[in-house]
């Protein structure tokens, strides 16, 4: 990694400059992560200190993968992440394509589409929870008109739809900005040349625009999965609280429940370690891809 | 535009207006709901036109709070959120600009090692190490304090990377000239590097402020004293607090007040916001 060609020479100053950030990182990031790793290898003792914690190797992990609740949570997380990502990205791509065709109204539309980024996930959850409220919400009222009996308090499917819509709604802005930037960097001459050769709008989209958007799309894919898996805690906690019957109990929410409500330290730590592994894999994918993009 | 196709444009406008409608709808409903008297929500479907109770609802939410909605008055929670967001933002900016300065402008043993330590923060979001981080903060006696709310969140690899990238583009001659003129490293940092970084700092400020304001899980964990509740987590208490239906008119007034500051920041600083977003996250 480079520095400037000429550098200052001072034997203590750089350490002093780095100290605040490194200390915060060590105390509040690395140390707890190491603790989680360590705790994940123990079965917790009882509350009275009669039975001390025992070292159980990977038993906590093995137990997790035998636990139907955990396996269910994995499945729920998968459905939730895929749903949120697909919904959030496809709506954003559609909007970005349309806005990109506008000239005078471009900025106005952008302003209107961008601000939900500022809304906290928990608030997004509460907003949609209100709209979908079975007794007074507007959408259940409309759906009743077409013969669908909406109730996210009893129906697993309805609850999942609710949290996916709330989580995707907030993320549309972010995806939209990146898609719009991606579309604007596609040379107009390519599209004009294809049009002169007689390619239809649909064909131009499939053979020129979509392939040229693939770096942005891939980047957004990773970012959205990370968002859906880790940043949506508020959406779940403020609305369904994982229910009904575990239907929206995503991994992050389960770690929190098991650690703070059920006080099962060993299992919660093992779940943390699995989540860390997932984040590390996703971060590595993201950065490898960025390296590549920078190089060409 | 390649073809001149009027119907296509019309269709695009239609799709966009529908899309904007969908995006705005939840907040519209919230604003409307916050203007109605409590009786409106007892039966029937939620209203779609403004009601007469706006002033009263907001006054109750801001000043009374606790007795009627199960939370402290919103005024205090708004203040807590603001202090937390500012502390996180300023903390993040100052420690990452200093460490980026050290990494770019000095050569010293273990430089790469420190860089990796900072990089690791990206891989360890709070959500994946909830319990042990809580224990560390509890052991340090930082529960129910602004220090506990902000300091554990101020390590930021993205900000450090952004500043590092920017410093690498600053011409070498500036530093050489400063050295010839006898300026030490801190004088160079203060009088040359800092003024040059103003735009980057402002762009990051917008992003970080929104990040800080919207924190949810962390305040939820470490505040048990209502004195330190932040507004975003306070809403959850109002919604799920009791057995009865939430007091929707107050909940929605709170939702509007909680979402307003970061939304205003985006609307008024859209250019900086877009810059900050696209440059930090790539």
CA distance B69 to chain A (A): 15
CB of A175 closer than 8 Å to CB of B19: no
Q: Provide the pLDDT for residue A295.
A: 35
Q: Rounded to a whole number, what is the distance in Å from the CA of B33 to chain A's nearest CA?
A: 10
In chain B, the residue whose alpha carbon lies closest to the alpha carbon of A40 is B132
Across the interface, whether the CB atoms of A260 and B221 are under 8 A apart is answered yes
> Residue B72 — very low, low, confident or very high, per pLDDT cuts 50/70/90?
confident
Does the distance separating the beta carbons of A22 and B99 come in below 8 Å?
yes
Q: What element of type H or E holds B105? A: helix B74-105
Our CA-based measurement puts residue B99 at a distance from the nearest CA of chain A, in whole angstroms, of 5
Residues of chain A contacting B214 with CB distance shorter than 8 Å: 118-121
CB atoms within 10 A of CB A138: 17
For residues A236 and A84, the answer to whether their CB atoms sit within 8 Å is no
Put simply, the answer to whether A122 touches B29 (Cβ < 8 Å) is no
- Listed in sequence order, the DSSP H helices in chain A are 13-25, 31-39, 59-66, 68-101, 106-114, 121-131, 138-145, 156-184, 188-196, 201-204, 210-226, 233-238, 251-256, 265-295
pLDDT > 80? residue A52 = no
pLDDT-based confidence at A294, cuts 50/70/90?
very low
Cβ–Cβ of B151/A28 closer than 8 Å? yes
b/e sequence B103-113, b meaning 16+ C-beta within 10 Å: bbbbebeebee
Chain B residues closer than 8 Å to A121 by CB: 214, 216
> Chain B within 8 Å of A32 (Cβ-Cβ)?
yes
B236 CA to chain A: closest CA distance, Å? 5
Interface with chain A: mutation pick from B32, B39, B78, B124, highest number of A CBs within 10 Å: B124
Nearest CA in chain B to A264: B131
What mean pLDDT is predicted for residues A28-39?
88
Residue ranges in B140-230 assigned as alpha helix (H): 146-150, 157-169, 172-180, 185-188, 194-196, 198-213, 217-222
A81-108 burial, b at 16+ Cβ within 10 Å, e below that, comes to bebbbebbbebbbbbbbbbbbbeeeeee
Of A10, A148, A72, nearest to B185 by C-alpha is: A10
Lookup: tokens for A72: 């269910």
How is chain B split into domains, by residue range?
A: 6-66, 74-280
Mean pLDDT of A234-250: 88
Fold entry, domain B74-280: MetI-like fold (1.10.3720)
Give yes or no for residue A282 having a pLDDT over 90: no
ipTM of the complex: 0.87
What number is the average pLDDT over the span B114-141?
86
Task: Please say whether the beta carbons of B265 and B206 come within 8 A.
Answer: yes
Q: Which of B2, B127, B216 sits opposite A230 (nearest CB)?
A: B127
Least CB–CB distance from B133: residue in A9, A32, A101: A32
Rg (CA), chain A: 24
Q: What percent of chain A clears pLDDT 90, i.e. is strictly above it?
A: 34
Q: Cβ contacts of residue A96 below 8 Å, gap of 6+?
A: A176, A179, A180, A182, A183
Mean local confidence (pLDDT), B49-67: 76
Predicted pLDDT of residue B277: 79
Which domains, and CATH codes, for chain A?
Answer: 58-295 (1.10.3720.10)
Residues within 8 A of B (CB atoms), A 44-83 only: none
Per-residue pLDDT band at B282 (split at 50, 70, 90): very low
Contact at CB, A130 and B99, closer than 8 angstroms? no
Chain B hits for A36, Cβ within 8 Å: 128-129, 131-132
Q: Between these two residues, B270 and B260, which has the higher pLDDT value?
A: B260
pLDDT score of A191: 87
Strand-pair partners of A43: A54
CA torsion, points A127, A131, A136, A142, in degrees to nearest 10? 180
Mean pLDDT score, A109-132:
91
- Closest CA–CA distance from residue A209 to any residue of chain B (Å): 14
């Amino acid at each position: 990694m480079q520095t400037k060609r000429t550098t200052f020479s001072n034997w203590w100053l750089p350490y002093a400059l780095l100290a605040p950030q490194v200390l915060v990182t060590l105390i509040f990031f690395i140390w707890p992560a190491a603790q989680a790793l360590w705790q994940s290898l123990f079965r917790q003792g009882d509350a009275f200190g009669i039975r001390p914690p025992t070292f159980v190797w990977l038993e906590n992990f093995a137990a997790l993968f035998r636990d139907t609740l955990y396996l269910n949570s994995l499945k729920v997380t998968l459905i939730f992440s895929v749903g949120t990502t697909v919904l959030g990205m496809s709506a954003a791509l559609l909007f970005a394509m349309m806005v990109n065709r506008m000239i005078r109204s471009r900025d106005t539309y952008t302003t209107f589409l961008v601000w939900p980024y500022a809304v906290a996930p928990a608030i997004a959850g509460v907003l949609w929870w209100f709209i979908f409220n079975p007794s007074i919400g507007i959408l259940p009222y409309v759906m009743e008109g077409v013969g669908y009996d909406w109730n996210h308090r009893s129906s697993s499917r309805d609850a999942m739809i609710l949290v996916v819509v709330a989580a995707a709604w907030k993320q549309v802005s972010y995806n939209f900005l990146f898609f719009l930037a991606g579309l604007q960097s596609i040379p107009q001459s390519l599209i004009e040349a294809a049009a002169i050769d007689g390619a239809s709008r649909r064909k131009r989209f499939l053979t020129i625009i979509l392939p040229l958007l693939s770096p942005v799309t891939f980047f957004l894919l990773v970012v959205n999965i990370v968002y859906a898996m880790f940043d949506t805690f508020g959406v779940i906690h403020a609305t369904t609280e994982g229910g009904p019957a575990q239907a929206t109990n995503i991994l992050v929410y389960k770690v929190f429940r098991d650690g703070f409500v059920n006080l099962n330290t060993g299992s919660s730590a093992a779940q943390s370690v699995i989540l860390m592994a997932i984040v590390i894999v996703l971060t590595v994918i993201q950065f490898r891809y960025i390296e590549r993009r920078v190089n060409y | 535009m390649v073809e001149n196709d009027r119907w296509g444009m019309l269709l695009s406008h239609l799709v966009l207006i529908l899309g904007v409608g969908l995006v705005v709808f939840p907040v519209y409903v919230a604003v409307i709901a916050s203007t109605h008297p409590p009786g409106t929500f007892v039966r029937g479907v939620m209203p779609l036109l403004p009601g007469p109770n706006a002033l009263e609802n907001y006054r109750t939410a801001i000043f009374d709070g606790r007795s009627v909605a199960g939370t402290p008055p919103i005024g205090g929670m708004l203040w807590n959120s603001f202090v937390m967001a500012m502390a996180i933002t300023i903390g993040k900016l100052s420690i990452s600009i200093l460490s980026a300065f050290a990494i770019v402008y000095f050569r010293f043993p273990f430089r790469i090692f420190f860089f990796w330590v900072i990089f690791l923060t990206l891989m360890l979001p709070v959500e994946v190490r909830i319990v042990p981080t809580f224990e560390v903060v509890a052991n340090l006696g930082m529960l129910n304090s602004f220090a506990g709310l902000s300091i554990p969140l101020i390590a930021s690899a993205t900000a450090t990377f952004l500043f590092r990238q920017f410093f690498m583009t600053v011409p070498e001659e500036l530093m050489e000239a400063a050295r010839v003129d006898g300026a030490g490293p801190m004088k160079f940092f203060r009088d040359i590097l800092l003024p040059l970084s103003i735009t980057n700092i402002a762009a990051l400020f917008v992003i970080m402020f929104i990040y800080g304001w919207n924190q949810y899980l962390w305040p939820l964990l470490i505040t048990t004293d209502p004195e330190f509740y932040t507004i975003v987590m306070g809403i959850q208490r109002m919604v799920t607090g009791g057995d009865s239906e939430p007091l929707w008119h107050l909940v929605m007034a709170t939702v509007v007040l909680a979402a307003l500051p970061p939304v205003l920041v985006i609307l008024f600083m859209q250019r900086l916001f877009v810059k900050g977003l696209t440059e930090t996250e790539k």
